[in-house]
Structure 1
Amino acid sequence: MADTSFSTLLARQVGNELAASQQYLAIAVWFDGQDLPRLAAHFYRQSLEERNHSLMMVQYMLDRGHDVQIPGVEPVRNNFTSVVEPVALALAQEKQVTADIEAMFARARAENDALGEQFMLWFLKEQVEEVASMSTLLTIVERADNLFDVENFLAREGVGDAGTDPNMPPTAGGAL
């Protein structure tokens, strides 16, 4: 039977966050190649935000005296046939991360790990923002008459908090 302890799930999530960072980087590069600079910039920021999330988890594990191993990541998807595909992929990815975070919170609670439970609270709040902002972006991309409308929306409105929450946990090596 696989180990599903909170610390094991958290260590696994470090890899999931790094994989998400890599996927967002691939999406950003694809948008850059399509001459869509606002979409590219949005996903470059998302890539850094996911990287920072992984290093928040690393810092927490270091602070708790856990052994930390940085895993490799599987190859990411680099090619898309429409602007909707990478945004839909990003939304699906955020929904999966939300389920993973909820499972880690539940495991910490089941193990009576108050510190682990408290640590996961920030990530639960963050996932509400992540799913909502990606849902909004997908809606805008699907409704847009042309891609300039999407670019203008991002220039005018922005989407997400860009990882600037002053209450976020400390990041190993410092947040980028």
Structure 2
Amino acid sequence: MSAATTSSFLRLLHEQVGHEFDAHQQYIAIAVWFDRHDLPQVARHYYRQAVEERNHAMMIVQYMLDRNLPVEIPPGSPVRNDFTEPTQPIALALQQEKQVTAQIEAIFQAARAESDPLGEQFMLWFLKEQVEEVAAATTLLTVAERAGANLFDLENYVARERIGDSGESADAPAAAGGAL
């Protein structure tokens, strides 16, 4: 059995490609929901989030290519499209970011347990990114809850404030095919 098939780090890393693409798809569904409800600023935020998650998946793919590891793109998971109020998709996005954080932490821990310093180093950027992602999603949910029925306040906030780094980070890993 090869190291690639027995390594928890590599198994989790392969799974993460799918998780990132799933997050990409869920963010598109959230963006479309906001677009359909005439909230273009919030929709634009989630369209950008979708691209960012796609880029994260492709960063992992590039890392695996660079280390000459086998790469397979997994099928996607179902997405949720049925929301009844604006806080629901925002809360789902926060829940999703917390789940991704736990997944990234597990991958980092596996690299450390397997004495894979290259794997650890690669995952450090993702750990830093998740701190920003959870903080931004938490703030957006708080603003949405405070806005209540006055969705203009939510739109204004998103239009006025820079939420997160939009995936623009000088130290970001390279993405296979280039970041979008």
Please indicate, yes or no, whether the TM-score normalized by the shorter chain is above 0.5: yes
Partner of 1:21: 24
Cα distance in 1, alignment partners of residues 117 and 12 from structure 2: 16
Which position in structure 1 is the counterpart of 2:109?
Answer: 106
1:175 maps to what in 2? 179
Alignment partner, residue 141 of structure 2: 138
Which residue of structure 1 aligns with residue 158 of structure 2? Answer: 154
> Taking structure 2 as the reference length, what is the TM-score of the superposition?
0.95
Q: Deviations over 1:35-70 (max 9, x none)?
A: 000000000000000000000000000000111000
In structure 2, what is the Cα distance between the partners aligned to 1:88 and 1:174?
A: 30
SS in 2 for 1:68: coil
How far has the Cα of 1:74 moved from its partner?
1.3
- Supply the RMSD in Å over aligned alpha carbons: 1.1
2:119 matched residue in structure 1: 116
Partners of 2:75 and 2:163 in 1: CA distance: 29
Divergent runs of 4+, >4 A: none
**Separation of aligned partners in 2, 1:70 and 1:129:** 26
Instruction: Give deviations 1:108-165, integer Å, cap 9, x for gaps.
Output: 0000000000000000000000000000000000001400000000111121110111
Q: CA deviation at 1:3?
A: 5.9
Provide the rounded CA distance (Å) in 2 between the counterparts of 1:58 and 1:105: 16
Q: Distance in 2 between matches of 1:4 and 1:72?
A: 22
Matches within 5 A, 1:82-97: 82-97=85-100
Deviates more, 1:150-159 or 1:86-95: 150-159
Are 1:164 and 2:159 counterparts? no
Return 5+ residue gaps in structure 2 as ranges.
none
Offset at residue 106 of structure 1 (A): 0.4
1:49-68 paired onto structure 2 within 5 Å: 49-68=52-71
Note the residue ranges of structure 1 that are not aligned, 5 or more in a row.
Answer: none
Of residues 65, 76, 80 in structure 1, which corresponds to 2:83?
80
SS at match of 1:170: coil
- Give % identity: 65
CA distance in 2, matches of 1:18, 1:142: 28
Aligned residues: 175
CA distance in structure 1 between the aligned counterparts of 2:125 and 2:47, rounded to whole angstroms: 22
